[in-house]
Amino acid sequence: MPAHDLSACPRRRGRSPFPALAAVAATVALTAATASPAAAEAREPAPASRAEIQRALDAMVAAGAPGVTARITDENGTWTATSGVADLDSGTPMPANGAFRPASVTKSLVATVVLQLEDEDALSLDDTLGELLPGTVPGGDGVTVNRLLNHTSGLPDYIEDPLFEDPEDYTRRGFTPEELVEIADRQDPSAEPGEFAYSNTNYVLLGMIVEELTGNTLGDELGDRVLRPAGMDRSYLPVRETGLPGEHASGYYRLAGRQDLTEATEIDPSFAWAAYGLVSTPEDVAGFYRALWDGDLLPAASLAKMREMVPGPNFFMSGYGLGLERMDLTCTSPEGHTGSIPGFSTFAFLTGDGDRQVTVSANAFLLDASATPMILAALDVLNLGLCGEPFTPPQAMEQAGPLAPA
């Protein structure tokens, strides 16, 4: 996914972070089956009941996720709900705030640091790779920081390389950022410069730029500039550390053509790094977006720039800003990010006014047919939490029949 976004998993270039949903969603638009987000947002729908959201979480588990956690903020305050188990062997219940890998949510944090550096005049969004990291990629003189941030660079995604087809082949070895970029450089461009095409390579390069300009590690800069100011006490960016700290669920994945889930809790995260390597908790992830929206991390002008969107491929990612995704639901178009990495899938969104927020974490990365019902159930959780009503798929999607992984 598109994080491993729902963001980074291997997929055809330019596709949504969730390949299962993208297989059909890329060809449809929201229709009469869903209300106009702008019109519906004006009616301020009542919050969904906890029982309705619990049923949607249970549906995610029934679809194949061992466990799932949701953190919801609405007019009634903030509360959490869980379903399923943290570990298939022990049957331990899913923790309400366990450590996990939120994958491409990392991009929102890295983009925040880049915009802070712009505010400090350490860089301009019009600076090019040729100026900042000369010789790193072919044609770097035509790739600006802004195009890296909103995925319009045209640079290929390193995860499209066959090396990244099976997590067993890449989660047990180490990579340097330079090696990831070299893998991408062997591929053809993903799109023409200026066209949207989701590429994790963009954020690896941004991480390299941050380190080049500051002289510090990206992890240290994230800690000083984002994690501590946002109160994200249990979050950090690992480089080669394989485990998850404190209370956490075990992570699992399943590839197409395989029946069993494979455990992937302790992995070498260097393949993800600045693109989708963060370790966090549901509370910390929600706290980050809250701090961002409240102006604690960026001035208003920079946040507005971050939220300026280029068109995305479908309703699931209808727009992409500077490290932020937009999704079209039945009453609103919330912003945040999805994420997927072997072991975990994440959906973290809030409304434009910040009044409602939903963060969903599942300890599953599914690339078989069960991904479709799990994703649709996750959309139901989001829609219930943000719109107060179940998610209604576009009619064109329903007419297309079952979704299958791309």
Residue 165 pLDDT greater than 60, yes or no: yes
Please tell me whether the overall predicted TM-score, pTM, comes out greater than 0.85 for this model: yes
| Candidate list 7, 83, 104, 280, residue with the active-site label | 104
Q: Is the Cβ–Cβ distance between 3 and 204 less than 8 Å?
A: no
Question: What's the pLDDT score for residue 143?
Answer: 97
- The C-alpha atoms of residue 54 and residue 80 are separated, in whole angstroms, by 10
| Confidence bin at 18 (pLDDT 50/70/90) | low
Annotation marks residue 104 as catalytic: yes
109 versus 38: the higher-pLDDT residue is 109
What does the buried/exposed string (b/e) look like for 348-382 if buried means 16 or more CB atoms within 10 Å of the residue's CB? Answer: bbbbeeeebbbbbbbbbbbbbbbbbbbbbbbbbbb
Q: Which whole number is the average pLDDT over 217-231?
A: 98
Q: Can you list the domains of the chain with their CATH numbers?
A: 19-400 (3.40.710.10)
Q: Give the pLDDT confidence score for residue 46 in this predicted structure.
A: 87
Span 148-163, average pLDDT: 97
Confidence tier at 402 by pLDDT (50, 70, 90): very low
Give the mean model confidence (pLDDT) for residues 198-208.
98
Task: Give the mean pLDDT of the chain.
Answer: 89
Q: Does 39 have pLDDT greater than 90?
A: no
Number of Cβ within 10 Å of residue 258's Cβ equals 12
Q: What is the pLDDT of residues 97-124, one digit of tens each?
A: 999 999 999 999 999 999 999 999 999 9
pLDDT bin (cut points 50, 70, 90) of residue 399 is very low
What integer pLDDT is reported at residue 394 of this predicted model? 64
CA-to-CA dists, residue 57 to 53, 70, 220, 385, angstroms: 6, 8, 35, 12
pLDDT of residue 7: 45
* Region 59-71 average pLDDT: 97
pLDDT digits (tens, 9 = 90+) for 350-394: 999 999 999 999 999 999 888 999 999 999 999 999 999 999 876
Query: Is residue 4 pLDDT above 70, yes or no?
Result: no
- If pLDDT is split at 50, 70 and 90, which confidence band does 45 have? confident
Q: Is 404 or 353 the better-scoring residue by pLDDT?
A: 353
Residue-level pLDDT at 135: 96
* pLDDT of the residue at 210: 98
